Amino acid sequence: MTLADIAPAVERARDRVDQALRHRALRRHGGKVAAEASLRSAVASAALEGSVHDREAVRGGAVTDPVLQGALRVAGALPSFADLWPRAPRQVLARLHALAARGTVPDSALGRPSGDPTVAARLDGLVALVTGGTSVPPLVLAAVVHGELLALRPFAGPSGVVARAAARLTLLASGFDPRGLVAVDVGHLERHPEYIGASGAYATGTPDGVRSWLRHYANAVEVGAAELDAIGDEVLAAVR
């Protein structure tokens, strides 16, 4: 939080999310909004993993690609993991991977992280943060969760889907986005070159690299909040 520009970026993202969570559509049509946000997040996460599909084709059930199907399963399951995530993140990561990677890796690899000692040590550190080892704002913790899992890629197959899901779960479980409505992955996809560059910078471990990633993450959250507003407007227009 002491890195240049990070505190105000986090505050702007927090304010933008609070504004989006007050959308009128959420008063009576929250279920429809949540379903659409989940769909868009899953399609975006799969696209970031290289599986690009038309959203309407996905909505119509015409896409059987296993990465996309895994992203849909993960997005749908996130709310059920909110209580468990701060207490048993390893267990949740294994379950997320089993959902995300089914059909893309052998069944024997599902839920099993790499045995590399360096990866194991980094995961230990991440688990300590998620279970209460830090007092940073939820957005910063979510960004670190995401950045670490992208850098480590501890699971075989679509590990990026797991990283993005774990970050969204951090926002959900912390109360930052208590219903999982902010489509952060849409923000990552909209700013795809920045996403790739900033995540690579984070992996260097330098202060400038970490700052680049945190700024990107805050920007992506703002885009995700704007997407929530757009979904709310569309839902209200459809029910008039």
Confidence of residue 17 (pLDDT cuts 50, 70, 90): very high
pLDDT band at 15 (very low <50, low <70, confident <90, very high): very high
Report, as an integer, the average pLDDT of 5-16: 97
Give the pLDDT confidence score for residue 66 in this predicted structure. Answer: 97
DSSP state of 109: G
- The rounded mean pLDDT for the chain is 96
pLDDT digits (tens, 9 = 90+) for 34-57: 999 999 999 999 999 999 999 999
- Per the structure block, which two tokens stand in for 205? 């471990």
Across the range 146-175, mean pLDDT stands at 96
Residue pair 1/11 in contact by the 8 Å Cβ criterion: no
Mean pLDDT of 143-168: 97
Residue 239: the pLDDT is 86
Check pLDDT > 90 for residue 240. no
Q: Is the pLDDT of residue 96 over 80?
A: yes
Check if the beta carbon of residue 153 is closer than 8 Å to that of residue 159.
yes
Of the chain, the end-to-end C-alpha distance in Å amounts to 44
Is residue 38 within 8 Å of 4, Cβ to Cβ?
no
Both tokens of residue 175?
């109360």
CB-based contact 10:218 (threshold 8 Å): yes
Kindly report the number of other CB atoms within 10 A of residue 174's CB atom: 18
Contact status, residue 145 vs residue 167, Cβ threshold 8 Å: yes
d(CA 153, CA 145): 12
Q: How far apart are CA 129 and CA 142, in angstroms?
A: 10
Q: Using CA atoms in the order 30, 227, 142, 157, what is the torsion angle rounded to 10 degrees?
A: 100
Read off the pLDDT of residues 188-231 as tens digits, 9 standing for 90 and up: 999 999 999 999 999 999 999 999 999 999 999 999 999 999 99
Query: For 102, phi and psi rounded to 5 degrees?
Result: -60, 125
pLDDT of residue 115: 87
Contacts of 15 (CB under 8 A, 6+ apart): none
Residue 236 has pLDDT above 90, yes or no: yes
Angle CA 96–44–190, to nearest 5: 135
Q: What is the pLDDT of residue 213?
A: 98
What is the spatial distance between Cα 233 and Cα 240, in angstroms, rounded to a whole number?
Answer: 11
Q: Provide the whole-model pTM.
A: 0.95
Q: 181 pLDDT exceeds 90?
A: yes
What topology is assigned to 6-239 in CATH? Fic-like fold (1.10.3290)
